[in-house]
């Protein structure tokens, strides 16, 4: 049976941590919970693990009322943001710990630990002390200890958030391979993150969560291409999708005295105001473009993020090279109108470049 929840709510104070959350998680699949800090991701994982009890709602798993199943009987493994390892034990002993607690046969422990360490790329590290490992290796030990339990449900609470950018990129790819190759068809993997890129690269089904409420559920590609609302568009893009107040008039998109030819995918929209959405990567510097003023320039790896303003409009553009700009510099930019999204005044997707609409 699937892990199914209906209308889980948890409100320990004046704000909802979970607000009528429902889901249907199938065995053999990977799910990503995407949301900003304080969106309710950790609360949801702790509720599944049995560490928190919701105020209302129901949860079923394997024909059981899962909310009544004690923590120690739930057959769940959890990997946290912090590297939770035992510093007085070596790598082998850390990974073997849950099996020793169950009094599993020594040969079975040896076989399972070897298998688990191999799956996370730590074969040959059995006798290393935890203090001798890098941050990424320590996180892999935590993951190996979770995998060795062969749990029915594996919960990962932002496991890469405390690592540097390069190591996150490396482990993200390794995690994806581990999930696709090293888990049984009976397992459910639930991975939480604030990073849209992680959600897209881990793939699988994505649940967009905000202020404890589910905003959209779908495959990563579908949410990226057709975000249901302005909020989803902001959460599922890094940097957040640029949103501008605009109008359609005489086959033009108009905002801040800028006029752009109306693309074909917006041609059916009536002449009225709307929220124009465009990603930072779909705007480019151009000598023949529209003039904006630089408010801030950020260097991120090999990428430059320019924060620009023109009148009441504020946008961010990403440039795939390192460039130097000063505050108040004037730059010219062009928009790729074929990549423009239209959201109505209520913030619901009216038309996307991929044919999506929720109105």
Which of 3-7, 14-18, 51-55 has the least mean pLDDT?
14-18
pLDDT band of residue 180 (cuts 50, 70, 90) is: low
Sign, CA dihedral 218-224-225-231, equals: positive
The reply to whether 284 and 148 lie within a common domain is: no
Q: What angle do CA 293, 232, 157 make, to 5 degrees?
A: 110
Phi-psi region of 40 (alpha: psi -120 to 50; beta: other; left: phi over 0): left
Domain membership of residue 358 (yes or no) is: no
Both 63 and 88 in one domain: the answer is yes
Within-domain flag for 356: no
Say whether pLDDT at 156 is over 70. Answer: yes
pTM of the model: 0.88
- pLDDT-based confidence at residue 259 (cuts at 50, 70, 90): very high
Q: Are residues 60 and 169 in the same domain?
A: yes
Pairwise CA distance, residues 141 & 95, whole Å: 7
Please choose, from the candidates 155, 176, 145, the residue with its C-alpha nearest in 3D space to the C-alpha of residue 51.
Answer: 155
* pLDDT band (50, 70, 90) for residue 252: very high
Would 235 be classed as within a structural domain? no
Number of H helices, E strands in the chain: 8, 20
Pairwise CA distance, residues 154 & 156, whole Å = 7
Instruction: State which residues form the domain around 204.
Output: 3-229
Residue 226 neighbours by CB distance under 10 Å: 21
| Cα dihedral 217/223/227/231 (nearest 10) | 70
Res 11: pLDDT: 94
Total domains in the chain come to 2
- Amino acid 102: pLDDT: 87
How many CB atoms are closer than 10 A to CB 101?
9
Mark whether 74 and 110 lie in a shared domain.
yes
- Packed helices 165-181 and 135-147: angle between N→C axes, nearest 10 degrees: 20
């Amino acid at each position: 049976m699937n892990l199914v929840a209906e209308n889980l709510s948890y409100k320990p104070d004046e704000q909802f941590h979970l607000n009528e959350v429902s889901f249907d998680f199938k065995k053999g699949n990977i799910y990503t919970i995407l949301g900003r800090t304080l969106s309710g991701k950790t609360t949801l994982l702790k509720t599944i693990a049995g560490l928190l009890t919701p105020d209302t709602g129901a949860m079923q798993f394997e024909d059981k009322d899962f909310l009544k199943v004690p923590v120690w009987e739930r057959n769940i493994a959890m990997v946290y943001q912090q590297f939770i390892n035992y510093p007085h034990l070596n790598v082998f002993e850390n990974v073997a710990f849950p099996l020793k607690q169950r009094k599993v046969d020594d040969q079975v422990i040896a076989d399972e630990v070897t298998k688990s360490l191999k799956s996370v790329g730590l074969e040959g590290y059995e006798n290393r002390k935890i203090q001798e490992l890098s941050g990424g290796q320590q996180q892999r030990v935590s993951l190996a200890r979770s995998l060795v339990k062969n749990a029915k449900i594996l919960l990962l609470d932002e496991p890469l958030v405390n690592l540097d950018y390069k190591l996150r990129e490396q482990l993200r790819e390794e995690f994806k391979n581990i999930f696709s190759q090293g888990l049984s068809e009976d397992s459910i993997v639930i991975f939480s993150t604030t990073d849209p890129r992680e959600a897209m690269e881990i793939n699988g089904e994505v649940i967009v969560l905000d202020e404890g409420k589910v905003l959209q559920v779908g495959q990563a590609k579908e949410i990226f291409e057709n975000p249901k609302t302005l909020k989803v568009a902001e959460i599922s893009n890094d940097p957040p999708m640029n949103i501008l107040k605009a109008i359609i008039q005489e086959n033009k998109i108009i905002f801040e005295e800028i006029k752009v030819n109306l693309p074909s995918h917006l041609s059916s929209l009536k002449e009225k105001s709307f929220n124009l959405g465009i990603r930072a990567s779909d705007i480019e510097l151009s000598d023949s473009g529209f003039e904006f003023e630089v408010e801030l320039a950020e260097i991120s790896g090999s990428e430059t993020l320019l924060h620009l303003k023109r009148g009441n409009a504020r946008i961010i553009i990403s440039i795939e090279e390192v460039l130097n700009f000063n505050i108040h510099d004037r730059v010219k930019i062009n928009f790729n109108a074929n990549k423009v999204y239209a959201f109505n005044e209520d913030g619901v997707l009216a038309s996307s470049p991929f044919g999506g609409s929720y109105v």
